[in-house]
Amino acid sequence: MIEPGSGFDHQEGIFMNVTEALNSRYSTRAFKPDPVDKETILNILEAATRAPSWGNTQPWEIFVAGGEVLDRLRKAYIENFRKCVPGKPDLPASQQWPPALQKRMEEFVGKRFNSLGIKRDDKVARQAILEVNYRFFDAPVVIYLCMDRTLTNWPLFDIGMLAQSIMLAARQYGLGSIPAYMLAIYPDVIRAELEIPDDLSIIIGVALGYSDTEHPQNKLKASRRPIREVARFKGF
């Protein structure tokens, strides 16, 4: 663990304040093949598990896939994708969104395809972009976040905070990441390969690695709603 003032080795990481880490994080959808060493991942996880949790219950169980294990997972995912095997995630996706959120999602997807030069009706190109999810964005590492099957809302909130903490801690090492529902859509495949017990739900995968910053997939910075519209102040 990196202690404050411990003379952190610059070759192993980048000094970065929290705002810089927040602003420089984005969902990486194209990774370089360069590996990430186990010590770095352990440092990131050790820092990230300082995340708060309900009553310090620390509901998370973490499974990290790399090397040949991840290659096998990736192969199985691509096979499933090509055979159109429907996903059956432990935590299903919401089917309906309030209209304002649905609109934002559609706008984001539209901008993404635009930035990649893909036309709305180009099904082949759209499928190719979708397949990138099943290739785990070519990441060298995927971190799966799990929790006991009986748990619901609040522990899920804790898992969310852990996920963001991992992604921010990763920035200090110059690493990119993406939290992706798609990485967890075939839980049976993941469970078998990573020996995840049946009593754990696989919530989400966070792909980790060095971003290919020149890749078109990484060029679009997702916008945000203006903070003065999002935040309402009273008594100031």
Whether the Cβ atoms of residue 91 and residue 203 lie closer than 8 Å to each other? yes
Could you say whether residue 133 binds ligand FMN (CB under 6 A)? yes
The minimum distance between CB 194 and ligand FMN, in angstroms, equals 19
Residue with smaller CB distance to ligand FMN, 224 or 234: 224
- Between helix 38-48 and helix 153-171 the angle, nearest 10°, is 130
Among the residue ranges 24-32, 44-52, 53-61, 191-199, the one whose residues contact ligand FMN (CB under 6 A):
24-32
CB neighbour list of residue 210: distance below 8 Å, 6 or more residues apart: 31, 32, 34, 36, 174, 175, 176
Q: Is 11 exposed, middle or buried (0-12, 13-18, 19+ CB in 10 A)?
A: exposed
Which residues, 191 to 230, sit near ligand FMN by CB under 6 A? 204, 222
Window 145-184: contact mask with ligand FMN (x via CB under 6 A): ---------------------------------xxxxx--
The minimum distance between CB 224 and ligand FMN, in angstroms, equals 8
Between CA 122 and CA 142 the distance in angstroms is 30
Whether the Cβ atoms of residue 184 and residue 205 lie closer than 8 Å to each other? yes
Between CA 64 and CA 206 the distance in angstroms is 9
Residue with smaller CB distance to ligand FMN, 42 or 130: 130
Please list the residues that pair with 141 across neighbouring strands.
66, 208
Find the radius of gyration of the CA atoms of the chain: 19
Under rule CB under 6 A, how many of the chain's residues touch ligand FMN? 12
Among the residue ranges 4-12, 25-33, 39-47, 139-147, the one whose residues contact ligand FMN (CB under 6 A):
25-33
Which residues, 66 to 105, sit near ligand FMN by CB under 6 A? none
Residue with smaller CB distance to ligand FMN, 26 or 157: 26
Q: Which of 203, 96, 202 is nearest to 160 (CA)?
A: 203
Among the residue ranges 21-29, 70-78, 168-176, 209-217, the one whose residues contact ligand FMN (CB under 6 A):
21-29
The minimum distance between CB 169 and ligand FMN, in angstroms, equals 16
Q: Which of 218, 61, 19 is nearest to 138 (CA)?
A: 218
The minimum distance between CB 160 and ligand FMN, in angstroms, equals 8
Interface residue with ligand FMN among 8, 14, 16, 26 (CB under 6 A) is: 26
- Contacts with ligand FMN by CB under 6 A lie at 26-27, 29, 108, 133, 178-182, 204, 222
